[in-house]
Copies of this chain bind each other. A is one copy, B any other.
Amino acid sequence: MKAKPQIVKAGPRSQAIDPLLQGAITPAGTPSPEAVQKAGAACVRRLPAYLQLLRVLQGEGHEHVSGTVLASTHNLEPVIVRKDLAVTGISGTPRLGFRVTELIAAIEAFLGWNNQTKAVLVGVGNLGTALLGYRGFENLGLRIAGAFDSDPKLIGTWVQGRHVQSMPKLPPFARRLGITLGVLTVPVAAAQEAADLMVRAGILGIWNFTPVKLQIPDGVVVQKEDLAEGLAVLSHRLRHSRS
C-alpha cells in the first residue's frame, strides 16, 4: 500500500511552497504536475464518485454545483470535497460553486481518463466475461482491446463481441498496439504465470482481480481488486452496528 521511498527525503516543506504561489492557472483540464504529485490515495478514490454525479448533473442541465451539494449526496463533509477538488487545479466561485463541465474535464484530465487507454484482458471466464460486457468503462477512460485465454475451447470464439485469442498471441498483440494495461481475471493457480506473461509483453499496469499477491518487478504497477476486502468490511460493520 505504501511504497517504500528509495531516496531519503530532504526538506519536507522546502520546495513545496513556490508552486502553490505560482498558481499557474493552467487551461481548464490541465492539472499542474505538482498538485498531481501530492494527491493522496483517499482523495483519488473519491474523484470517480464526484465524476459520476457531475455527469448526472450535466445531463440535467446544471451549470454550476457547490461543494456542499456534492458532499451531501455522498455523505461527506463539504470541506473534504473542496480539498479533493483542489488537486485538479479548479477554482470555484463563492455562492455559485464550481462549473460542472469544467470540473468534469479537470477530473478526467487528472486521472488521464480524457483519452481512452487500451487494455488487454486475460482470463475470459465468469468475471472476465462480465468485465468485457461492461459498457461503463468508456466513461472511465478504458477500452479493452483484446481478450486472451488458454482454454482451447474458448480460443477463436467471440465473447461480448471480442475475439478470444491464445496466450502466445498476447505479447505481439500488446506490443503492436502499444498496450500497457492488463486486466487479470484468471483462476488463482494461473495468476502468477499470466502476470509474468503480461510483464514480458510490456504491460506496465496490472488490474488484478485475483486474490493473489503477485510477484512483480519494479516499474510495474499492480492494483489488486480483492472482493474479500469489501466483504470483510461489510461483515465487520454488520456484526457491530447493533450492539
Contacts and interface: CB of A to CB of B under 8 A. Distances in A.
A32 to B, nearest CB: 13
Interface class of chain A by DSSP? helix
Contact of A192 (B17, B187, B227, B236): B17
Contacts of A39: 236
A22 interface: no
A49 interface: yes
A211 B130 contact: no
A213 B74 contact: yes
Interface in A15-54: 15, 17-19, 21, 33, 36-37, 39, 41, 44-49, 51-53
27 contacts: A1-B8, A1-B76, A13-B215, A17-B189, A18-B189, A19-B188, A39-B236, A44-B236, A45-B233, A46-B229, A48-B226, A48-B232, A49-B213, A51-B228, A75-B213, A113-B235, A126-B133, A127-B130, A127-B134, A136-B211, A141-B235, A181-B234, A204-B241, A205-B237, A221-B237, A223-B234, A225-B227
